[in-house]
Structures are given as C-alpha cells and as structure tokens.
Structure 1
C-alpha cells in the first residue's frame, strides 16, 4: 500500500534515501520543493506526485458527456441575457432517459447537465429565484429537469455532474459580493443535497464584466468548502482545483499533456503571482516540460478536461442539424483528448422537444462502435485488453 507523506517531511525523506524516492512514498496532489534541490532531483520527484482518489476515479472515466439544455434551447441563443420569460421553456416530448441510453450505449460514463447557464434560468425548482422551471408551463410548473436526468443516470448506472454558472445575468444581486455569493452558495447547497451523489461540479470562467457591466467577486473558498463538505467524492472542474480546462473548445489536447504541472490551481489573486512568474495559464502550450519543472517551486496533480460540442453551438439550433461532427472528426478528437492524457467532455445538446436529435444519436452510435472495434484486439497482450478504464 502506498504511503502519502506531508510535503514538509520531504527534506528528511530526501536526506534519508539520498534523493532517490522509495517505491512506497508519494505526495498527494501537491508537492512544494525545498530550495536545496537540483533540477534533476525536481524532475525525479515529479514522478512521485499522485492524484487524490477523486481525481483518479475521474480520470478513469475517459468519456463524459455535456448536456447544454435550458432557456437558450428555446430562444435560439448561446448566451441569454436573463430577461427571458420562463413561459418560453416548454419541451414537447422531454425524455432524459433517451439521452442517457444513447450516451451509455456509446461508452460514456457520466452526464454533466447545465443546471443554470449565464441567463440564470434554473432547471430545478429552486427556492433562490422565481426564474426557474417552477415558473414555466412545462409539467404544469411541477417539473424538475435535474431530478429526471439524475434518475435516468441512476437507472442506467451513469455518473452525474452539475454545471452551475457563477455568472448570472438575471440575479439582481449579481455584483453585490455578499448577497450574490449567498445566493450562489444556496443554489449549490440545493443541488448537492437534494439529488443524491454528484461526481463533478463544473464552474465556468465567464463573469459578466463586459455585457452587463456588473463585476462580481466570487467567494471560491466558500464554494469549495460547500462542495467538499456535501459531496466529498466530487471533483471541482475548470475554476476548481481538481480538474483544469485544456485551454480550447476544439477538442484538442496538447502534444504533451501532463497531469503534473506547475500551473497553480488556486484562483486567488494573491497566489496567482507564481503563475505569472512562470508565464502560465490554462492556454499556455507548455505546462509540464522539464524546463518548467526545474524552475517551479511547487507541482500539482491537475489533470486536463477537453470540452467540445458535437455541433457548432453548445445549445441546439435547428439550422445546425446538417453540421453534426462526422465520425472521422470525432475519432480525431478522441485521439487528441483521451489519447493525449485528458478526459473528453463531449457536448450533445437536446432539441426543443427535450430529446437528442436522431442525427446526433446515430453519430454517437457510430462513435461508440468505432471505439469498441478499434480497441477490441490488443496486439501486445495476445488479444487481452490491458487497459480497462472504459469498461470500468
């Protein structure tokens, strides 16, 4: 059994083993170097940084699905402004199980739902705002998209995650630091206490400094504490400290996509100075080379998530029905994401009916069959598949 030791004991361990780590000594998620280390010693120690159990379980998924569904589905927009009438939300044939079954059959392991996008419209009957499904005519105001998707995931043994946009263009309190952070914390708490186990919470970097002129200072430490307290098995993604954004929305990982990186996941400005010193951001082309490691003071296990949509837009638009990515395009994305040490988060947006379009479902079927066929015969192990992440 491996032994995790605090970073403060590193110097003692180094002196005891002559800077050559023992096989059962590892550092979980983070390692701060003593000043006395040479460049070669830093590089060697980078191999002994390991993920948390939550990060490890997440990386085993490989294929996860994004579901962008909400007010924008019915207005034809990508970013709503928060003034939309809740009556516009009216799926005519909502079927969350159809989504989950299509994704499950294609080999996906988790569904992440946009519980609230930037327009502030909530897909569950929240107590924090009237701008939700409870004010819509769908299901006579008694509907709950989050619950129906979660129940479908549970039925078909799929993991479930939540996207909750910090930017809220409907909330009157947005821009008032304390009031809005209280509202957002309440929304997080509802989602993390009313729907069973949640495996990923996906934040978003958009913060509204341009379109509506209101600037909100988010209390990230508080948000993290709520998640860690209520859903300890969940990873915090993108603006979180467990999973980082790959840096683009094209479905392309880096040629060398490292899980161990000097990129500091802490988004507090007082700490980000180290990222500035190293000239690092999620979009930097080099996040893990030997040169970077030797110049770093601290290393983190901070794996990459590749988000991309199967269509040009993130939400459904009828005029994009003939622009669904081809199997060849999806295959290239697979190799450039999963094949580049990342988890693929493929967005498949339901239409106004509340169903995945037939074209999308067929492409998912083809994609799943392609993955199964191309990896079913492992030449290096006499036909036995050595890597079992996809099949659990």
Structure 2
C-alpha cells in the first residue's frame, strides 16, 4: 500500500514538473559553426532530415514515472513525505531488479517512426539516474546485467540502432553527462543536495578524474561498439567548465558550484570523431565548438534562426512512459513541425516505450496520423531551407536547397471547413509558372492582386491539418 501511494503521488507530480522544467534549454544566438569539413557535411545532411524521434526509456518506465528527476533533492521536486530520501533512492535504484522488457520490440519503434515520416533517431543510452541501456563494462548498473541479461537482445542500444538503421535513419546516442549512481559523481560520503556533484572537486581531484575517465570510457564504448553513429547528444548542461556558466545557466534556478565540472570535452570529441568521422556533437547549452546544433526544449523560438537547431518536444505530456498520458493531436504536431521548419529548425518528437518494451498503441496511432500528412506533403518539409519571408498569418514558407522551388503550407484549424480559396501575402509565384497542390500532385489555379496570392482549391481537396503548395518564386 505504501508503494502504491508513492506511485500515485509521483504520477500526479509528473504534470507539475513538466511546466516547471520545460524551458530550461532555450535557444541562443551564441552559435559557433564547426570548422571540420566532415562535420559541416554531416550537419548539412542532418538539416535535410527535419523530423526525428527521441526515445526516453529506462528504469522510470517500470513504475511509469518522471525520468530520473525524482532522485534529485531540489525544492521543485516532490516525493512521498512518509518515506526517507535514502529509502526512496534504494527503491528507485532497486527497480533494476524488476526491469525485464520481455516484449522489447525495436522493429515496432522503427516502423512507427518511419510511418510518421521521421528521419533520425536519438536514443537514451543513459539518463541522469546512471542506468545504462547498453552493455557497458564500466558498471553493472545496466539493462544487460539485470533480469534481462540472458535475453539475446540484452544489449538494447545495439538492437535499437540496428532497427532504425535498417529504416535509413540517422543515428543519435543520447548520453547524460551527470551520473547520479556512480560514487565518482555522487559520493556516498556526503548528502546529495541538488543535481550537481556533491563534493568539492578542488579538494578531491582524484575522485573527479575517476569520473572523467568513467565518462570517457562509456562514450568510447558507444562510439566504438555500436556501428555508425551520426549524433552524440549530451544532456545535463550543468556539467560544464565553470567559465562557461552564464546568465542563461543561472536562469535555470539550480545551484552553481564554486568549482568547475569540466569533463574535458576536447578529449572526448577527439576520441569520438576518430571513431566516427564527421560526428555531430550536441553538448546542450554549452555554447561553442561542441554544440553543433542547439536544442530549445518544449518550445519554439519566437523568430526565425539562421543557425542549426531543433525543438525537442513530447508527443504526450511526458518524455518517458506514464500511464494514461494525453497525446497531442496529429494536427498539433504537424503545425508545430511546419512552424519549426519555416523558422529553420527540426522537430525532435519524444516517445516513451513502456516497461514491456513496446510503444503504447495510442502513440502508434498518432504517429500513423502524422505520417498520412508527411507522406504526401513531405517535399515542403524535407531537404528545405529558410526563406526570408517565412510567415503570413497561418501560412508558412520554405524553399528547396537550390532556391528554385518555394513551398507554402497553410495550417488549418481542427474541424475547420475547407475553404474554396486560399490566400496569402508575399512569396509571389513567377508569372506564368505552375503551382502544384502537393496532396494530389495536381495543378491549381492561382492569381495575384498586388502582393497577395489567391489559390483555388480543386474539388478533390479533403480536410487536412495543412495544405501545401509548390511553385517557382520570383
């Protein structure tokens, strides 16, 4: 009964946490373009993809609760007041003895992503709780050492990456820089007051050097043992050199230690790119040479940005699996994608498999609905770049990489009656050129009146989240 009450409490806490933490990674104008030609080439390829899937899956799927953060003792965290913090940590980490995803089905995940029109993957190999979803040799705290260890697919990350590669996805490995399970980050000698390491690194350099080596070794395993990897997506931006702490970091509201949590990113990057030439490194919020694209979280920038970025957003209300999650409609996701792409970014959509290893049926349905739109309108999304005039009310614009073709995407409200005529201002087609309605591939009639364009829809047009058109721009 005590455990049941605890879980109910944590489920109710989940929604509140989403609002308190959703904007901790805003976009920034402080961007440094990579100089390595292979990285620039990979970055250009990544900018063609536009739509990806991020999968949070770990111990937190067993009770269906917030990912890792309940372990963190900060004032925005709520836990069952009748249980001691130490008992809670023992219970949470003890979930490793229960996590046995016997229905683990990465082929289902990859098919769902492909059906939705997704082009790249970011899979959580390790979240802040330190539980590894790959067969690391640095710790026994992994999926490959618990009840699932005798399963032929116990090295989960390998089978996830393989399944998505077979669907032609670019492959990204999410990796948490902080690790709250290892004694080299949270030393059991001391309390754990917040997300930071809990000892003075200046006084205990040996211990921190052990953590740096631990981190280096684990990333090395991912870079050397799991085939081609395109993206190393590093989370936990408070683990950073002290001199890089700025007002953006202070605005998170977390404590800033007096010492530097420097893990030697130049050394990690050199090793990783030797194994994976051209690797994109996304050291979130640590602006500079190892933040190859930026990652505003649960938010879309107000204006168009001219450097690489993605909005990472959840399909439901949570990153990982929680029971009875409320999923966004296909229209919501499609409208967000259109806005993001027109502003120069990519959409990384979060999906959380359950403890059994399958994605919930309702989430699969949403992804299929999204795919019905992307399968016929994808030309306006994929392989596109920004155009200076990118918005007119509910109409958004992109263009082909060579600049010869312009695309207009008109977002329609759910339940809105399909109009006979669509109009927008700006982005005037070249005189005498054809305009194509992407949904049917048919030509449509258009006229201009000054700076306005009017398009007559064919009688075969159906209600859809957004109407997309291609044309030659002036």
Give the TM-score taking structure 1 as reference length: 0.68
Contact 1:65/1:348 (<8 A) preserved: yes
Q: CA deviation at 1:168?
A: 0.2
Deviation readout 1:320-341 (Å, 9 max, x if unpaired): 1xx1011221122112212210
Give a deviation string over 1:43-87, Cα, whole Å, max 9, x none.
Answer: xxxxxx998112111111111110000111113232253751221
Match for residue 204 of structure 1? 235
Q: Distance in 2 between matches of 1:348 and 1:193?
A: 27
Partner secondary structure for residue 148 of structure 1: helix
Instruction: Give 1:366 shift.
Output: 0.9
Q: Which residue of 2 aligns with 1:61?
A: 49
Residue equivalent to 1:354: 357
RMSD over equivalenced CA pairs, Å: 3.1
Kept in 1, the 8 Å contact 2:62–2:99? The answer is yes
Alignment of 1:58-137 (within 5 A): 58-75=46-63, 76-79=65-68, 81=71, 83=90, 84-85=93-94, 86-137=96-147
Give the unaligned 5+ runs of structure 1: 1-27, 32-48, 260-302, 388-392
Is this contact kept in 2: 1:29–1:51, CA < 8 A? no
1:256 to 304, 318, 327: 304
Secondary structure of the equivalent of 1:138?
coil
- Aligned ranges for residues 338-353 of structure 1 at < 5 Å? 338-353=341-356
TM-score with structure 2 setting the length: 0.57
Contact 1:113–1:161, Cα closer than 8 Å, also in 2: yes
Instruction: Give the number of aligned pairs.
Output: 297
Check if 1:319 corresponds to 2:308.
Answer: no
Query: 1:176-227 deviations in whole A, cap 9, x for unaligned?
Result: 3211110000001101111110011101134477599997332111121122
- Match in the other structure for 2:171: 160
Task: Give structure 2 stretches of 5+ with no counterpart.
Answer: 1-31, 72-88, 186-196, 198-206, 240-253, 381-406, 409-428, 439-467, 469-474
Match of 1:297 in 2: none
User: CA–CA distance in 2 between the matches of 1:214 and 1:116?
Assistant: 25
**Aligned mates of 2:378, 2:115 — CA distance in 1:** 16
Higher normalized contact order (CA 8 Å, seq sep 6+, divided by chain length): 1
Distance 1:158 1:30, change over 3 A: closer
Q: In structure 1, how many angstroms separate the alpha carbons of the residues matched to 2:174 and 2:350?
A: 12
**SS, match of residue 362 in structure 2:** helix
What CA distance in whole angstroms lies between the structure 2 residues aligned with 1:214 and 1:152?
42
Query: Corresponding residue for 2:243?
Result: none
Match of 1:363 in 2: 366
